[in-house]
């Protein structure tokens, strides 16, 4: 049976997945905030199950509470498709759902990671080191100030909250395993004296260690740019975009747009422009002499700037955790402007 694991985007959520990854290897991971993102991810999971041709599949949801409507829809769909469904959570707001659905397991006295660990350790086996890790997460997630692991838990919390280096929308798989790497390294500090201080001091170097696997020592920004550009180059046909007979790439919340955009265009001369759309509805345009992106920004969103670096605001943009939906909005914007131009020329 293959597990499709959807979890929250904080320490507790990634810790749940870290635990599941410890016990099982045939797993695909997805991450979501609350609301529509859960539905978007559920659809993505269903598509992946169909694409994978899985006869036996389990959709595992952790550290996320559903609405009654979502429960009803998910249960109906899973029954129709022969998919098993299990939710392990600790948010009291899901109490009504727990009372109605037997697959909805809720316990507000423990963090979700502890619920997941307790559940699977009974099925598989207990692990003393993993259990200590769970205690750290539990101490901070349900705010046990007097717990011996509370201060260390706060550093764990910040470590994951500030791990923005790898975009989870663009690079879903890489993002999850980056979080696993950070948690694995952080675990090594648990039994050390003044562990919270030592870990806090080490965070920058732990992050660098991950990206040093790809390149000799450099600044974190340069290491990250190398990593992201390499990933974009390998996956570029998934992100390709066309405008006025020019070929470009579209990213979402990629960060360091000037560095990454320029590096990508230098290493991929078959591409003429680079666009990044942010959750703030801003579009960042970059070029390398093949197209004037100031004119492009002006025509698309009334923006402007320089020939090789411009920006603008896409007022109608709707943020999403699904890259395909994000790309569709930009494609539609370009088509709409092209149709307007054609009608004006008639």
Produce one character per residue of 228-266: b if its CB has 16 or more CB atoms within 10 Å, e if not.
bbebbeeeeeebebebeeebbbbbbbbbbbebbbbbbbe
- Strands 27-31, 246-252: parallel, antiparallel or unpaired by DSSP? unpaired
Task: For residue 261, give Cα distances in angstroms to 114, 269, 273, 275.
Answer: 41, 12, 8, 8
Please give the sequence-ordered ranges of beta strands (E in DSSP) within the chain, or none if there are none: 2-7, 27-31, 57-62, 84-89, 104-106, 240-243, 246-252, 273-277, 282-287, 304-305, 309-313
Q: What is the structure's pLDDT at 39? A: 95
Q: What is the structure's pLDDT at 246? A: 96
Using DSSP, state whether 106 is helix, strand or coil.
Answer: strand
pLDDT averaged over 10-residue windows placed end to end, the chain, 346 residues? 97 98 96 92 95 93 97 97 97 95 97 98 97 98 97 98 93 96 98 98 96 85 90 94 95 89 94 95 96 96 95 94 92 89 63
Question: For domain 236-345, which CATH number applies: 3.30.450, 2.60.40, 3.10.310, 3.20.20?
Answer: 3.10.310
CATH 3.10.310 boundaries in the chain: 236-345
Q: What is the structure's pLDDT at 222? A: 87
- Phi–psi pair at 57, nearest 5 degrees: -140, 145
pTM exceeds 0.85, yes or no: yes
The set of residues, in sequence order, having a beta carbon less than 8 Å from that of 16 and lying 6+ positions away, is 5, 7, 8, 62, 63, 88, 112, 113, 116
CATH 3.90.1640.30 boundaries in the chain: 2-161
Interatomic CA distance for residues 17 and 23, integer angstroms: 10
DSSP characters over 119-130 = HHHHHS---HHH
Rg (alpha carbons) of the chain, rounded to whole number: 22
Task: Quote the tokens at residue 289.
Answer: 């002499």
Interatomic CA distance for residues 251 and 155, integer angstroms: 30
Q: What is the structure's pLDDT at 188? A: 97
Please give the span between the terminal C-alpha atoms of the chain, in angstroms, as a whole number.
59
Q: Topology of domain 2-161, per CATH?
A: inorganic pyrophosphatase (n-terminal core) (3.90.1640)
């Amino acid at each position: 049976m293959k597990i499709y694991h959807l979890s929250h985007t904080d320490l507790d959520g990634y810790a749940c997945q870290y635990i599941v990854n410890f016990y099982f290897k045939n797993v695909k991971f997805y991450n979501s905030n609350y609301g529509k993102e859960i539905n978007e991810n559920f659809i993505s999971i269903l598509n992946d199950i169909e694409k994978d041709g899985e006869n036996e599949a389990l959709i595992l949801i952790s550290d996320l509470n559903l609405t009654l409507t979502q429960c009803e829809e998910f249960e109906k769909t899973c029954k129709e498709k022969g998919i098993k469904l299990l939710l392990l959570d600790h948010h009291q707001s899901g109490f009504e759902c727990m009372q109605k659905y037997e697959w909805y397991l809720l316990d507000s006295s423990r963090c979700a990671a502890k619920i997941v660990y307790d559940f699977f350790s009974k099925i598989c086996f207990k692990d003393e080191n993993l259990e200590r890790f769970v205690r750290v997460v539990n101490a901070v997630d349900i705010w046990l100030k007097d717990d011996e692991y509370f201060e260390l838990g706060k550093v764990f919390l910040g470590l994951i909250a500030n791990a923005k280096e790898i975009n989870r929308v663009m690079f879903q798989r890489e993002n999850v395993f980056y979080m696993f790497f950070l948690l694995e390294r952080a675990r090594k500090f648990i039994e050390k004296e003044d562990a919270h201080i030592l870990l806090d001091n080490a965070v920058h170097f732990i992050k660098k260690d991950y990206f040093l696997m790809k390149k000799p020592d450099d600044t974190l920004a340069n290491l990250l740019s190398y990593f992201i550009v390499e990933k974009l180059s390998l996956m570029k046909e998934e992100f390709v975009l066309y405008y006025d007979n020019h070929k470009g790439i579209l990213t979402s919340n990629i960060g360091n747009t000037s560095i990454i955009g320029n590096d990508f265009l230098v290493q991929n001369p078959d591409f003429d422009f680079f666009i990044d759309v942010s959750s703030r509805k801003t579009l960042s345009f970059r070029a390398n002499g093949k197209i004037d992106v100031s004119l492009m920004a002006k025509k698309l969103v009334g923006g402007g700037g320089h020939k090789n670096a411009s920006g603008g605001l896409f007022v109608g943009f709707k943020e999403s955790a699904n890259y395909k939906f994000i790309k569709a909005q930009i494609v539609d914007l370009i088509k709409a402007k092209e149709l307007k131009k054609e009608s004006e020329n008639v």
